[in-house]
Structure formats: structure tokens, C-alpha cells
Chains A and B, each alone.
Chain A
Amino acid sequence: GNSVTQMEGPVTLSEEAFLTINCTYTATGYPSLFWYVQYPGEGLQLLLKATKADDKGSNKGFEATYRKETTSFHLEKGSVQVSDSAVYFCALTWDAGGTSYGKLTFGQGTILTVHP
């Protein structure tokens, strides 16, 4: 079945450091890929997405490129801030047919802590 594997965390960085969180997936067909972020005490928020190979999703300085050849969707940011401290989830979904997309399959999440 479909699955998502994220790099093991937690990740601790100093402010302005470069961030990479690795994500690889296993899926049949052509899934859509997502990064969701969960700030303390809040629900999951969509950070960025890509729906086909070589698409680059970007938002708030974060980027991820849909790499079909390596089945990866790594999250990157050039300069992290303390406010980026959160849990990051990589996820995929695929067209279940009809007018509805299927369920999101999530990775286990990566805790990011950024120190001043």
C-alpha cells in the first residue's frame, strides 16, 4: 500500500540555519504530495503541495520539489526562524475516483526546534 517515510527527528537548529527534512514515499500511480505543519496547540495547516512530477511547492520561504525518480519530497528552508518551531508532516493523497480525493497518508512527523 501507500506509505510515507520521514527522517527521524527531532531536529534542533539555530536561527538562520538551513533546514532540510527528508521525505520519501511509496505509492501506486501518481499521488499528490503535501507538507503540513502543526504549531503547538493547533491543528494541522497546509504548508505547501505539489501535484505532479517536477512541481515545486513553496510557501513562507519553504520549498519542496516532487521527484518521481527518487520518490522524494524533501522540505527545505534557507534560513529558519524561531517561529518555525513546530511539527512537520509529509503526506500524500491520490484520486480515489469520482469527485472525491482519497485519504491523506502521513509520515510520522518531524519535530523542529529553532533556538535564537
Chain B
Amino acid sequence: EAGVAQSPRYKIIEKRQSVAFWCNPISGHATLYWYQQILGQGPKLLIQFQNNGVVDDSQLPKDRFSAERLKGVDSTLKIQPAKLEDSAVYLCASSSIRGLAAKNIQYFGAGTRLSVL
């Protein structure tokens, strides 16, 4: 079974530029999450999708961050314009809604490391 795919692995941009990250979840997983992991901290949820609908985006800085999950599969997270404090690893995770044991386990991609200069 293929895991969660993310691209790019690394991105370096200057402040005020825009950037986009892509995520392809595990096949059949209805729930998709984007987390931000700042160096030395644990990941923090930015947004959670259930199929193509948003379940929780309370921690997403909506003035500069946006995310979409068209057709309930792939997802894109965008930052526009980027700030220095956005430097972090952006992690995508997915989980199944089928089966009590399975639905609370999240599977993570390798992440995209963003450096804003």
C-alpha cells in the first residue's frame, strides 16, 4: 500500500512570495490533515478535510493560508504572501473512516520543509 505522498520535499522562497504544497493521501482515506511543524515543536493542525469538505480550519491563518481538496482526493496548501515565521515543515496526514480501530490512526507523509528568507 502506497503511503502519503507530498511534494516538493524542500522549498526556499523570499518573504512576500507565494508557495504551494501538494499532498496525495493513501487511497481510500476520506480524512486529510495539514499540520505545521515549527523547529523544536510538535506539529500543529492547520486544517482537516472530510472528503472535500472542511471539518476544522480554526488554526489556519486565513489571511494568508488557503487549502483545497478538490474531488476529495489530492489536496493543495497555499501561502500567499509568505512571512519569515512561516518557515516550518508542512506535514500532510490521512486516515480512514472505516472501522473503529482504523479511523483514529493518522498516516503521515515525509513533509515539505519551507524556508522563508
Write the residues of chain A forming the contact surface with B, with a CB cutoff of 8 angstroms.
4, 32, 36, 41-46, 49, 51, 89, 91, 93, 95-96, 98-104, 106-109
Contact = CB atoms under 8 A, between A and B. Distances in A.
Contacts of A98: 50
A96 B43 CA distance: 19
A4 B41 CA distance: 12
Contacts, number: 68
Given A91-B42, A98-B50, 17 more contacts: A32-B104, A36-B108, A41-B110, A43-B4, A43-B91, A43-B108, A44-B91, A46-B107, A49-B104, A100-B50, A101-B95, A102-B48, A104-B106, A106-B42, A108-B40, A109-B41, A109-B42
Question: What 3 A-B pairs have minimum CB-CB distances, sorted nearest first?
Answer: A106-B42, A103-B45, A43-B108
Interface in B72-109: 91, 93, 95, 97, 103-109
Interface residues of B, number: 28
Contacts of B43: 44, 89, 104, 106
B62 interface: no
A67 B93 CA distance: 27
Nearest to A102: B56
